[in-house]
Structure 1
Amino acid sequence: MYIGSMIIILLIVIVLIAFFSLVPVGLWISAISARVPVGLGTLIGMRLRRVIPSRVVKPLIKAIKAGLDLEVNQLESHYLAGGDVDNTVDALIAAHRANIELDFSRAAAIDLAGRDVLEAVQTSVTPKVIRTPEFTGVAQNGVEVKVITQITVQSNIERIVGGAGEDTVIARVGEAVVSTVGETREHTDVLENPNSISKKVQQQGLGDGTAYAILSIDIAEMRIGDNIKAKLDIEKANADMEVAQAAASKRKAEAIALEQENRAAVVAAEAEVPRALSHALESGKLGVMDYYQMKNVQADTSMRESIAGEDSELSK
Structure 2
Amino acid sequence: MEFTILIYLALIIVGFFVFMYFVPVNLWITAIFSGVNVGLFQLVFMRVRKVPPRVIVESLINSTKAGLVLTTADLETHYLAGGHVPSVIKALISADKANIELTFKQAAAIDLAGRDVFEAVQTSVNPRVINTPIVAAVAQDGIQLKAQARVTVRANIAQLVGGAGEDTILARVGEGIVTSIGSSTSHKDVLENPDKISKLVLEKGLDSGTAFEILSIDIADIDVGDNIGAKLQIDQANADLKVAEAKAEERRAMAVAVEQEMKAKSQASRAKVIEAEADIPLAIAHAFKEGQLGIMDYYKMKNIQADTAMRDSIADPLLEKTDKKDDDD
The residue aligned with 2:272 is 272
Q: How does 1:223-302 map to 2 (within 5 A)?
A: 223-284=223-284, 290-302=304-316
CA contact (8 A) 1:95 1:121 kept: yes
The alpha-carbon deviation at position 252 of structure 1 amounts to 0.8
| 2:150 alignment partner, SS class | strand
The residue aligned with 2:221 is 221
- Cα distance change of structure 1 residues 280 and 53 upon mapping to structure 2, 3 Å threshold: farther
Give yes or no for the alignment of 1:200 onto 2:214. no
Cα distance in 1 for partners of 2:82, 2:304 equals 121
The alpha-carbon deviation at position 24 of structure 1 amounts to 5.8
Cα distance in 1 for partners of 2:131, 2:47 equals 46
| 1:300 alignment partner, SS class | helix
Q: How does 1:91-240 map to 2 (within 5 A)?
A: 91-240=91-240
The alpha-carbon deviation at position 66 of structure 1 amounts to 4.4
Of residues 120-129 and 148-157 in structure 1, the stretch that sits farther from structure 2 once superposed is 148-157
- Cα distance change of structure 1 residues 304 and 232 upon mapping to structure 2, 3 Å threshold: closer
- Cα distance change of structure 1 residues 235 and 242 upon mapping to structure 2, 3 Å threshold: same
The alpha-carbon deviation at position 274 of structure 1 amounts to 3.4
Unaligned runs of 5+ in 1: none
Cα distance in 2 for partners of 1:38, 1:86 equals 18
Q: How does 1:19-58 map to 2 (within 5 A)?
A: 19=19, 22=22, 31=31, 36-58=36-58
The alpha-carbon deviation at position 10 of structure 1 amounts to 5.7
| 2:152 alignment partner, SS class | strand
Give yes or no for the alignment of 1:303 onto 2:314. no
Cα deviation, 1:184-235, whole Å, max 9, x if unaligned, reads 2111100011112212322344344444332211101212233343333333
> Could you say what the CA RMSD is over the residues aligned between the two structures, in angstroms?
3.3
Unaligned runs of 5+ in 2: 288-297
**TM-score, normalised by the number of residues in structure 2:** 0.79
Cα deviation, 1:85-127, whole Å, max 9, x if unaligned, reads 1211111222233343433222222222333211221122211
Cα distance in 2 for partners of 1:229, 1:305 equals 56
Cα distance in 1 for partners of 2:305, 2:55 equals 126
Cα distance in 2 for partners of 1:242, 1:20 equals 91
CA contact (8 A) 1:181 1:197 kept: yes
Cα distance in 2 for partners of 1:240, 1:26 equals 90
Letter in structure 1 aligned against 2:251: R
What percentage of aligned pairs have identical amino acids? 47
Cα distance in 1 for partners of 2:86, 2:188 equals 53
| 2:279 alignment partner, SS class | helix
Cα distance in 2 for partners of 1:283, 1:218 equals 107
Structure of larger gyration radius:
2
Cα distance in 2 for partners of 1:153, 1:262 equals 82
| 1:224 alignment partner, SS class | strand
- Cα distance change of structure 1 residues 183 and 272 upon mapping to structure 2, 3 Å threshold: same
- Cα distance change of structure 1 residues 246 and 26 upon mapping to structure 2, 3 Å threshold: farther
| 1:295 alignment partner, SS class | helix
Letter in structure 1 aligned against 2:315: T
The alpha-carbon deviation at position 60 of structure 1 amounts to 3.3
| 1:188 alignment partner, SS class | helix
Letter in structure 1 aligned against 2:181: V
| 1:220 alignment partner, SS class | strand
Of residues 279-288 and 88-97 in structure 1, the stretch that sits farther from structure 2 once superposed is 279-288
CA contact (8 A) 1:281 1:288 kept: no
The alpha-carbon deviation at position 239 of structure 1 amounts to 2.8
Letter in structure 1 aligned against 2:150: Q
Cα distance in 2 for partners of 1:114, 1:254 equals 73
The alpha-carbon deviation at position 143 of structure 1 amounts to 2.5
Cα deviation, 1:239-294, whole Å, max 9, x if unaligned, reads 32222222111111111111111222222233334333221122128855554444
